[in-house]
Structure 1
Amino acid sequence: MPEELARAFYDELAEDYHRIYPDWDASTARQAKALDGVISGELGPGPRAILDCACGIGTQAIGLAALGHNVVGTDVSPVATARAAREAAARNLRLPAAAADMRTLPFGSDAFDVVVCADNSLPHLLTPHDLRAALGGMHRVLKPGGLLLLTTRPYDEVRETRPRSTPPQVADTPAGRSITFQLWDWHDDAERYDLEHFQLVPQAGSWIVRQRRTTYWALTQDQITSFASGAGFRAAKWHTPQDTGFFQPVLTARTPS
């Protein structure tokens, strides 16, 4: 099942997720500043009640909490959300976090001003049924006039070339350098791909290799916009990294007022 695959992937990655970034704390601050700019541009000055429904270890949620927003984090991985709560507490920030599937969000209606689903999380859902369930739930928990903020890889470009790997990323840590890269195996439909995620982590003067697997649906912007509109969102608009300062394209959409 897709949810079991994604949960296993992030359970295994949670301990090492920060190694994806050269400086994870700097990345949390930079990404939150970019997302906060989008939120304030859409809704005006905050703070806002925000649900990060794919919070992972807190990369976006912690930064948004540091900016004064009231953030709740959920993620399919209980290991990741446990780390997110620990990382927030270590920074004297409040971040309630719990494991939850984005297709069945455990909140009442009209609970949040903003729902964030960032860092290519939605494409873990592999069927139209799953996408409709997730986006419908996000719509339900938003207040009237609330904001959906969703980011993915630039799949319109990616699907033209269908790359088979990503460049290595090097992170410096107190224990030494670590290296992260991915291998991609595209399905026959040319839309979905299996990902092998590799990390080389220094240990006792040598390297250990950590490998995880998951699957993504390389959704184009038109596909995502269509699913969002079908879930009841309005005024859907894509923003480029050049416009927002965020490293991925950002979709904003609103619930009816």
Structure 2
Amino acid sequence: MPEPSDVARFYDRLAADYHLLYADWDASMSRQGAALDRIIGAALGQGDDRGPFSVLDCSCGIGTQSIALGLRGHRVTGTDISPSAAARAVREAALRDVPLRAAGADMRQLPFADGRFDVVLSADNSLPHLLSAPDVRAALGEMRRVVRDGGLLVLSTRPYDEIRRTRPASTLPQLAPAPGGRAVTFQLWDWHDDGEHYDLEHFQLVSDGPDWRVEVRRTSYWALTRRQLTGFVTEAGFAGPEWTEPERSGFFQPVLTARAL
């Protein structure tokens, strides 16, 4: 993985504009929250234990999933490698009357006691910022440590099995409204020779009347296949890993769930 400061810097720089990735951020939060709530409820909501649940979102960003789950009654704590993103998550949650405690933290060193949470969540392709097997193992080991026995792991990533077959060089532009006009976001991908890692240039063009502000942010990812990630999850002490497709879950990315042994 790049130095934590490198990844933190990427998201620190993106934090103020992150909502511009969405045509309607609140509507997207609502959809994601509904999907994640169903996933969690289906796994843990049996018998008298039907929630709400204590959830650690260990890559909370500006609060997209944390706020969404809080709006559905779950007790959510957030951490993120970017202190700026975590601070914005707290502010955005307060604007929506959602109690949320969030702070900067590396998912490889989570600042919580063993077995504290019912659910640990890392969504929206966050885990693949870890570029080596030792780093992935460290993060998943920490997730296992802080979730109770029988608790739930929820991960989502890009559909990397297909992506590694096609090795795209870019993403399609996304258009969203901005206070002064419009925002256009797209990515350029440069693949490493190993066919598994890629460097990303994140372009964001934001208009303010006739003028445009251009931001270019850079980071890297490990395009983990389902087999690779399932293996790491099992090694970390989770059982019954299961992938769910977006058309079934309603979440925008494939979701991996597993139970803590």
Which TM-score band applies after superposition, normalised by the shorter structure? over 0.9
User: What does 1:37-48 align with in structure 2 at a 5 Å threshold?
Assistant: 37-44=38-45, 45-48=50-53
Equivalence map 1:10-159=2 (5 Å)? 10-44=11-45, 45-159=50-164
**Alignment partners' CA distance in 1, 2:255 and 2:171:** 21
SS of match in other structure, 2:111: coil
1:236–1:253: 8 Å Cα contact kept in structure 2? yes
User: TM-score, normalized by length of structure 2?
Assistant: 0.97
CA–CA distance in structure 2, aligned partners of residues 220 and 68 of structure 1 = 33
- Pick which of 201-210 and 212-221 moved more: 201-210
What RMSD in Å do the two structures reach over aligned CA positions? 0.7
Q: How many residues align?
A: 256
- Once the two structures are TM-superposed, the CA of residue 69 in structure 1 deviates from its matched residue by 0.2
Q: TM-score, normalised by structure 1?
A: 0.98
Q: Is the 8 A contact 1:2 1:125 kept in 2?
A: no
Amino acid at match of 1:152: T
Partner residue, 2:239: 234
Structure 2 SS opposite 1:92:
coil
Distance 2:135 2:4 in 1: 10
Q: What 5-or-longer segments of structure 2 have no aligned partner?
A: none
For 1:29 and 1:42, the matched residues in 2 are separated by 20
SS in 2 for 1:6: helix
> What's the secondary structure of 1:209's corresponding residue?
strand
Aligned mates of 1:116, 1:3 — CA distance in 2: 20
Do the aligned residues in 2 keep the contact of 1:50 with 1:112 (CA within 8 Å)? Answer: yes
> Sequence identity of aligned pairs in percent?
61
Whole-angstrom CA distance in 2 between matches of 1:173 and 1:206: 13
Is the 8 Å Cα contact of residues 83 and 103 (structure 2) preserved in structure 1? yes
Range with bigger deviation, 97-106 or 166-175 = 166-175
Indicate conservation of the 8 Å contact 1:2/1:124, yes or no. no
Q: Structure 1 residue 204: deviation in Å?
A: 4.1
Is the Cα–Cα contact under 8 Å of residues 181 and 209 in structure 2 kept in the other structure?
no
- The match for 2:222 is 217
Residue 3 of structure 1: how far off its partner (Å) = 2.0
Letter of the aligned partner of 1:200 in structure 2? L
